[in-house]
Structure 1
Amino acid sequence: MSTAAPSIDTEETDTKKIRVLAAGFIGNILEWYDFAVYGFFAPTIGKLFFPSEDPRVSLIAAFGAFAAGFLMRPVGAVLFGHIGDRIGRKKALTLSVMMMAIPTMLVGILPTHAQIGMYAAIMMVLLRMIQGISVGGEYTSSFVFLVEHAPAGRRAFFGSWSMIGATCGILLGSAVGALINSFTTSEQLLAWGWRIPFLAGVLVAFVGYFIRHGIPDQPIAEELSEQEVYSPLKQAWGSHKTELLQSAGLNMMNAVTFYTVFIYLSTWLVEEVGETRAEALDINTISMAALTVMVPFAAMLADKLGRKPLLLIGAAGVTLFSYPLLWLMHHHHYQMILAGQIGFAVLVACFAGAIPATITELFKRGVRVSAASVSYNIPFAIFGGTAPMVAAWLVHSTGNPLSIAWYLSGIAAISFCITLTIKETRHNSLEE
């Protein structure tokens, strides 16, 4: 009796799966690495490119340039949606990673205000806008690609790797930023140290381009009539109006919860709870790491139980537990704060693990990237980009540090109701 060796076909299939996962994963690392690095060095960038006698004005201006990128995300959604639907997913993915890499490198070599005056600020804003266009196409193009190439019964798991890439990018950016801060003096950081993380991002981009250049792709435009080739978004609105609105409604909670919990609450812990910035960042990093681990498990449950149960659990959880979790975090006690933020991470993971597959399965193939991109990026531009600002305004205007819980709960309740209207998509055919 002989033992059969693994077939070459099986090995090739496994290699293809790994390459597909890596292709969707790597681009999101770069996108969110840059996001984290810019946020980490915003005070330094403010001094160098938006100088002012008041450091707070410089910081606000630096974050204003950051916000400009958010406003361009819907533009990127339309552009890369069209490319993905009419030329191919592969072209959208390779172009988006390079469109992020080149501006990231240019930020690293950009002359400062002291060297070229106001042109430095203008160029910084323009580069952030170009990156915003890239971000608008990257995340959705990658998860559509991942879900379409997933084996039967594993679409949510494959789609979740786009989110895993995003969280890994944030963790990598924070780690690199902390490392640079540790090994440079204040003068060195201001002179050249801040540039290193942006220039290092080119290495990630090179790896991403190399992986994506060899991924499989299907011809898209050849399958369509001449009229359809030029109007994927118009076609999506005509045939998927309800699904577009449903997807946008789901992403309202997705955007508000993520940017409030993992971006704003670090500042909230310092200003309202009295934690040191180092402790707040440590708690946030641990919570992000926990989210990274939990997302694929939530996705596997979505593959087994269905998308809708996980979406409903996440939305109901944020609706009901935002106040208790924030109350837990509003204590000058490290373990209580960490428990509260990890509680939020569990609820975000339920939503994040299911939503890439859900959005992909809502739309037919010929308009899928355009529909997913627009319905994802518009709520993220409107609600995600403004979430920290709204949270800060609520705390200031009410005088109640826990008032942001009502905003989180209200948005989540809306997304919960919208989820109820969505049919389970787990068994939807992606070829129809």
Structure 2
Amino acid sequence: MNTQDSTTAPSRALGREDYKTLSLSALGGTLEFYDFVIFVFFSATLGHLFFPSTLPDWMIQLQTLGIFAAGYLARPVGGIIIAHYGDKLGRKRMFTLSIFLMAAPTLIIGLLPTYEVIGVAAPLLLLAMRVLQGAAIGGEMPGAWVFVSEHVPPRNSGFSVGVLTSGICGGILLGSLVAIAINRSYSTDEIASYAWRIPFILGGLFGFISVYLRRFLSETPVFRELAAKRALAHELPVKTVLREHRAACILTAAYTWSLSTAVVVLILMTPTLLQKMYHIAPADALEANCVGTLMLVIGCGVFGALADRIGMRITLLLCWGGLTLSAYHFFTALPGGVSYGALVFNYGLMGFFVGSIATMAIVGVRAFPPAIRYSGLSFSYNIAYAIFGGLTPVLTQLWLQKDVLAGAHYVAVVSVLAMVLAFTSLAAYGWANAYRK
């Protein structure tokens, strides 16, 4: 599958510079994704602070979720623009810019005056900051995957992308832990008064530290070689992507559907489902979710390493097949009642196989040639995530009205899709174009 890797690049082991690049990139990914998701952990508090208290609760919650969703809608635009300059001016510059564009709005959110102070300007400013966050994350994630994959030896690209994805997913875990700590350390009144600002201010400050640390990263060898040969994209990169690489776009978008479903249904939606449908105590549900997210972080690295060791196709079968079985095991055990220990174990097992999402990034990076790799991956990933990430909660919720196993069924559908794609002509296109240099 990676024949071009072995013939176009010298074989070498991961070196000190590779580990530095990988660790700094993963750390930045953790902190940036923390900045993006911390909003959802405090959405109820933000709703009551940034909208008129005279509105009914359902209206406040709806408008707050609308602002949260605006971040997802802004991802494709930000991703396309940042990726365009990433293919034209360099990976490092845009990689650093994206985290700055995330850190600044996060810090500002933590300092914003509320509706009680400035009226309608408060939710408008909150919306503007959320849009900037969405644009930043749209460029950060594809940029991070491209950056590390072009730095390391091709034979270690799966492991490196997997570890980076672990770091990004670590942002969800960090957000969850910070939210738990804030809620345990402060009363409800204290959180509404001032403590809600703490996680946003911390996120902004950590983000600026990451901006500083990324100064010590170097441009990728692949981009430097392209620049030296004057082989950079001569037109708008996304035009080349749409004209010449539609198969790679479809392949990447399909795997993004699998990724978004696994994350949204099993990590983001399941804690609420546990509480509302199975009457599991909120603390138990959140603690089980933390374990599941921790195992997700571990799973991403494991499946990335497996892709290098045993090949992409076998890895896809193992990880997505395991996700299907573990999701059914988790949900079928719930109706009859489950002990705390079993809940945590089952969630952890399922979370480990959610680490399958790392394979999406590996496939996406390998599906596009270097000159338009950043734009191709960013366009396909962000457009697909905006569509499927937005539709998945709605579709799952509607399906749950008919079948309590809807979450497992939906995950099974996209998992089977991921496994089938491993043996299609689309996948062959992706493997054939892997790491062209």
TM-score where L is the length of structure 1: 0.90
**Mapped partners of 2:200, 2:29: distance in 1:** 15
Q: Which amino acid aligns with 1:84?
A: G
Partner residue, 2:18: 17
Q: Specify the code of the residue in structure 1 equivalent to 2:218.
A: P
Deviations 1:124-159 (A, max 9, x none): 111111110111110110011111111242111111
CA distance in 2, matches of 1:328, 1:279: 16
- Equivalent residue for 2:348? 342
Match of 1:410 among 400, 408, 413: 413
- Percent sequence identity is 29
* Distance in 2 separating the partners of 1:362 and 1:61: 38
Q: 1:280 aligns with which of 285, 290, 305?
A: 285
Give the deviation of 1:424 after TM superposition: 8.7
| CA deviation after TM superposition for structure 1 residue 57, in Å | 2.5
| Residues 345-364 of structure 1 mapped to structure 2, 5 A cutoff | 345-349=351-355, 351-364=356-369
Q: What is the rounded CA distance, in whole Å, between the counterparts of 2:149 and 2:107 in structure 1?
A: 31
> What one-letter code is carried by the residue in structure 2 that aligns with 1:348?
V
The aligned runs of 1:10-409 (5 Å cut-off) are: 14-52=15-53, 53-217=55-219, 218-219=223-224, 223-224=229-230, 228-319=233-324, 322-330=327-335, 331-349=337-355, 351-395=356-400, 397-398=401-402, 400-409=403-412
Is the Cα–Cα contact under 8 Å of residues 32 and 169 in structure 1 kept in the other structure?
Answer: yes
Q: Hey, what's the Cα distance between the residues in 2 that align with 1:273 and 1:56? A: 23
- Deviation (angstroms), 1:431: 4.1
Instruction: Tell me whether 257-266 or 16-25 shows the greater mean CA deviation.
Output: 16-25
- Deviation string 1:230-288 (CA, Å, 9 cap, x unpaired) is 31111122221111111111111111111110000000000001111111000000111
**TM-fit CA distance, 1:390:** 2.5
Name the Cα RMSD after superposition: 2.1
Q: How far apart in 2 are the matches of 1:14 and 1:411?
A: 37
Contact 1:264 1:391 in 2 (8 A): no
Q: 1:417 to 1:279 in 2, by over 3 A?
A: same
Deviations 1:50-74 (A, max 9, x none): 2354323222221111111101111
Q: Deviations over 1:320-357 (max 9, x none)?
A: 554343112443422332333233223222x2333322
Other structure's SS at 1:136 match: helix
Q: SS of 2:217's equivalent?
A: coil
Contact 2:298 2:352 survives alignment (8 Å)? no
Structure 2, unmatched stretches of 5+, are 1-13
What is the one-letter code of the residue matched to 1:386? L
Kept in 1: contact 2:326–2:353 (CA 8 A): no
Taking the aligned partners of 1:377 and 1:309, their CA distance within structure 2 comes to: 26
Distance apart, 1:291 and its partner CA:
1.6
Q: Which moved more, 1:25-34 or 1:108-117?
A: 25-34
Paired letter, 1:411: V
TM-score (norm 2): 0.89
SS of the residue 2:372 aligns to: helix
Q: Which moved more, 1:380-389 or 1:255-264?
A: 380-389
Aligned residue in 2 for 1:3? none
Q: Which amino acid aligns with 1:304?
A: R
- Decide whether the 8 Å contact of 1:263 with 1:388 is kept in 2: no
Deviation at 1:297, TM superposition (A): 1.8
Q: Tell me the CA shift for residue 194 of structure 1.
A: 0.3
